[in-house]
Structure 1
Amino acid sequence: MRLHRLEVCAFGPYASREVVDFDALGTDGLFLLHGDTGAGKTTLLDAVAFALFGTVPGARGQVKRLRCDLADHDTATEVALELTVQGHRLRVVRSPEYQRPKRRGDGFTTQQAKASLSWVGEPPPGLPADGITRIDEVSRTVQRLLGMSAEQFFQVVLLPQGEFARFLRADTAEREQLLERLFGTQRFAEAEKWFRELRTTRGRELEQRRQVVREWVARIAQVAKEDAPDDDLDAWLDDVRMRTADAVAAAERAGREAAQARDRADAVLEERRVAAERVRRVRAASESLAALEKEADRRAGWKAELAAARRAATVTGLAAEADRQRVRFDQARDAEAAVREELLAAGVDGVDSEVAVVRRRAGELREEAGALAGLVAEAEQQQRDRTRLRDLAETATYAAAQATALGEKLEGLPERLKELRAELDRAAEAAVRLDGLREREAELAAALADAERLPGLESAAARALEAEQAAVDAHQNAREALLDLRDRRLAGMAAELAAGLRDGEPCAVCGSADHPAPAAATALVGEAEERAAAEREQTAEQRRHQAVAARHEADRAVAAVRERLRDRTAEQLAHTLGDVRDELATLGELAARKAKLDGLVRAAEAEHEELVAERTAAERTAATAEEQRRSLDDQVRQRQRRLDAAAGGFADVSERRAHLVAVVGMLETLADARTACDAARARLDEHLAAVRDAARQAGFDTVEAARDAARSEARIAELERALADAETAEATARAVLAEPELAGVSPDDVVDVESARAAAELARSRAEAAAATLQAETQRARDLEGLVGKLGSALAELAPAEEEYAELDALTDVVNGRGQNARRMSLRSYVLAARLEEVAVAATARLRSMSHGRYSFVHSDAAGARGTRGGLGLDVLDDYSGTVRPAKTLSGGESFLASLSLALGLADVVAAETGGALLDTLFVDEGFGTLDGETLDVVMDVLDELRAGGRVVGLVSHVEELRQRIPTRLRVRKSRTGSSVQLEGAVAA
């Protein structure tokens, strides 16, 4: 991978478009990126990272605030990078998401993030020739071409010295986090997790199998009715099975004996039951014959009563029919008398005439009533027409009054409709103005809040300026003190070396064993004092940087607030905001009535149309009703004259016709009643003569005697049944006494059945109890055998499962750094330890060169203190003393050498691990200020070696001495309007 050109616009501190030509900078293979603190040196590296991956390294990537605060609102934030990867040249352009002022109105809008990738030349196979515009697809394509992730790129290409200094001093957990990000050992962590989850799963399965065994043992104990022992389970099972078999055999013997006793008792009971039954039958037959003998006279009376009832049956039937004929005659005679009285009361003549005369008179009156039927219909129509006349008069009057009322209502409606429409227009206009006024209110409220917090921001800015000045002074003082100590230490270095000389021992400088004139010891400055002063200088510098950043932030906050206020005071804003809110309240109330007013206008319009239609209909209804009333009134008067003439002496024609119809009906009823009465009298005489003849033939003197001898059907059936039962009972009793098996049996004999029944029941209950016991013991034996078999199967399945789980448990502990794993290293830590060992080997080659062969990295895979995880130990071997010392004991310059060596070694290992593209461009960020001149020469020699093969190395530093050593430079200038870049040295020439 080689970088060619970088363009940044409104990014970080760069307000306008700035261009970095890496082809020009990389002509010598080594260039310097320098400038004042906070000018934006590291931002250029962030821009490279952002163009490739859409994010920036370190803590800066967590802020996600990349736009320049000093950039013009219309200038878009953009980063463009041209580079060559795997022989293909491409251009990547990205814009982050940021907030910009709205082009119309006040407030801010979100500018969405964008990304594009285009090819300068032929695209790689399988990729679109017209480029890529989706953000996620651009990131995936870049990562695939580079062969490394963003985390790996930040460690391999943008060497962050601060992070590797922390890496040197970190514990195992912190080193593990960084190495995991770089080497992607997540698959080994997944393997550890897989082993743990598999062990958990197998453990649950094993526990389920053990639980099954425990359940079978508990069920066997429940069947055996005793507690299972904790050990020697097989002996207990054998003993239980033997005792169960003995109990079954004993129950079988007891069952046989009880069954034999039950059979003997049942035989005795059956014999006594038969004897008792014979005695009972003889006794019952004898008692039945004695009772029948006592009722012989009573049965003779039943026979005489039954014979007289059968003779009287023919007479009672005819007598009953004669009684019914008498009732019919009485009814016909009463009906005739009632009709005659009604006719006399109505004043009708000739009611005592013959039937033929009465029927002729009824015919004459019927003809007269028929003639009046047509006039009755006209009379009914006359009543309906009179009612219709009244309804028409009322309708005409009501419709005329309704038309007048509707006309009065229509007079004021147009003016009211006009007022409602005008008010609706005002409400609609208020609704349109409401949104703009709300935005104006929000802008004024925000401005007022800014105006109120401006004094506090100005005070904070003043305090930040004072703090910055104090921090600058403190840093200068600390730096002067450090330089003074270094000068004093260099001046007294000879005395310091002389203090370590011993007679007969060679000098560390010249090698001579003679020390003729060792330097005198004056006030010496030791290494610890110099290191403490350096740490104080570094702390002061950090505080200075923090103070400068805080002052810049406070100034930006004040400038942003002043720009938004545009010279408006808090009093002006408060007054304007009050006016706007009053107007907003007024317009809000008016706009809220818009929907209601719109409904009122539509209702008024609909009401006007409805009233006009109703008035027209009312006027039409009044005219029609009046015309119909006049026409109908003429018809009613003419018809009334005809009806008055036909009514005669009655109230109307209907009444006269009804009278005639009623008289005709009564006359016909009288004729029918007289005819029926004559016929009923004749039938009654015939039936009376027949009854008297039948009584004499049945042997009765009178009809009343026959009636007395008659009996009901139920009584006759009762007498017949009683006589038949007596005859049957006598025959049955005699047949029983004649049976051969009852010969010699006396009704006075006594048989004891109860004692035999009690003995049989006792024997039966004992036999049933013995059978139940046998069944229970047999079932218990079967259950026990089944449970023992299932327990054996469960134990057979449990044994291999326990062996498998024991092996898996031990292996899981080893993979996860526990159990038999003496080094307490998990699989992931083991892999990372191997990678760290490779890094240590690669870094040692450069560290020994930079430290003149004094230092080398030592990797340790020993377990940590108190049994904690190990494998990621990294110490430093000091060849001067021959001891391995912690990296934390290195001085500031030595820590920089170790960090740089570690970063370069890690870059080589990661690049080889990922198989990514060849890295032709490399950046080293800061850290050179801690080196002395000689060490700096060594470091520069190592960096010169990195240029081999056409690689370009960029150094990011503000160390002045590097400007003299490196002719190719890119300077970053800082100003109030934004940072800028400028080529210097050989490039500018």
Structure 2
Amino acid sequence: NELSLRLDASKSADKERARLIESSGEIGRKAKELEQARIQAQDLAAKWINNSALELAAKLIDGEECIVCGSTNHPHPHEGSPTDVQREELDGARALVARIEASLTATREDHQRIVEVIKELNKKAGADTASLQIAYDDIDTQVVAAKQAGDTASQLRKDLAESRSQIEKYKTQIASDHVKIAANTKDIENKTAEIERLSQLIQQARGSFTSVAERRESIATRQDHIRHIIKAITAFEDAHSRCTEAAAVMAKALANSAFASANEVQEALLPQAEINALEEQISNYNLTKRQAGATIEETERSGLVRTEYPKPLTKALSRLRRIHEEATSTHALAKNALAQHEEQVGKLRAGIENLQTLEKELGPIRRLAELAQGARLEDGTPIPFDTWVIMRQFERVLEAANPYLERFSTGRYQLRRVSLDASRKSQQAGLGLAIIDLNTDTERSPASLSGGETFYSSLALALGLVEVISSEAGGLDLKSMLIDEGFGSLDQDALDKVMIGLQRLRDSGRTVGVVSHVAEMQQRISDGIEIKHAKSKGSTLVIHAAD
């Protein structure tokens, strides 16, 4: 427009004025150079003329004509000292003067042209650059504002149309929401009552615990206790083996003795005082026997003893000797049997003392083993210890999975461990699974769930298992998950909730992979690999990535 042209002319005039200033400076500089060159040329010319005059004066001869004036008289010949100036130097100085004069003339002509250009540009501009720039900026601002206003008006018209359309949708949605609000209000009342009921159940189940952390600490303590029980069972089994060996030794000792049982041995054992008294009687008997034998031998040697006795005495003596021999033999047998019995009694005493020591050592261990083997189900059915441990871990997995399942099912379902699952023919006691339907307050079999419900229930179990493993694996964290199929069985609402749950899982730092044929999944997931099948070329991979 005209103002823009005037502003351009004014800016060009400013540039030309800058050139004019430079040109003026150049003219002054060249004028000084010309003056200096002229002075130098004049000086060289004077010196060269002086030299020429001296040369002519030297050639003048009285009576001969001067080659300059033709006079034959030479009253005043030139005098002076010659200088070292050549003709070439003088010609060079004069040529330099000519060049500077030509350059100065060209610069002055260019200076005059710049003056004429500035006059013409000032005539076109009609004002100074600052004033024109202010006017131009003001007009440009108005143009931009007008354009923005036009764009805003266009966008407002578009937004108005969209808003009207959205208002109609909102009206429809509000009408639908009023219906849902009424239903949700009733549902909230039911769930509030259910929450109160569950809170009471939680309070009852929590027992003396004041928090979940305290309960976990108690579980950790019980786990340590169980580990000690396992060690105690191992020690008990070792001690039991030692007891078995001791019992075998005792049984062998009983078999070689006259006793039928260890109780008879205990009953046959005499107090130490009585044993000492019997040993003293035996010693006295042996001493008396030796003394009697010595007396008999001495009497026989003295001849005072009769060698022949009356028959009644002879018979009586024979009978007494026979009785004595039988008594001596019986005494020897009894002494030998007593020694054997004392040896067996010593072994039995050592075995009994060993058993008593083992009973003292293994008493607590036996009680722990009985406690470990005393695990039972809710109905009183005994279960192995390892099943009891797995059952408690299974309950932890269900506890971690239920928040996911409640989110996926909009608070309808929960998982609960039961003793037996009627839908499964083969299972271990105590490890059954049931679905709690909070809408109807009933317990259902997992087999009664629909395909979509089965899928997100399985997904919730998998997520709960991941949390339990991560919390108990000593710092091991499962960073990746791959879910294969199953999304096609979900309705729109369930799919939305499952996707929100997976997105939260991804935001927590885990990588979640999904394998699916559902087309909507591609729209929901920004990063992925799509496999396209071609009839003649096999399959092609297409990689999608977020910007």
TM-score range (shorter-chain normalised) is 0.3 to 0.5
Work out which structure has the larger RCO, using CA pairs closer than 8 Å and 6 or more positions apart in sequence.
Answer: 1
TM-score (norm 2): 0.44
TM-score (norm 1): 0.26
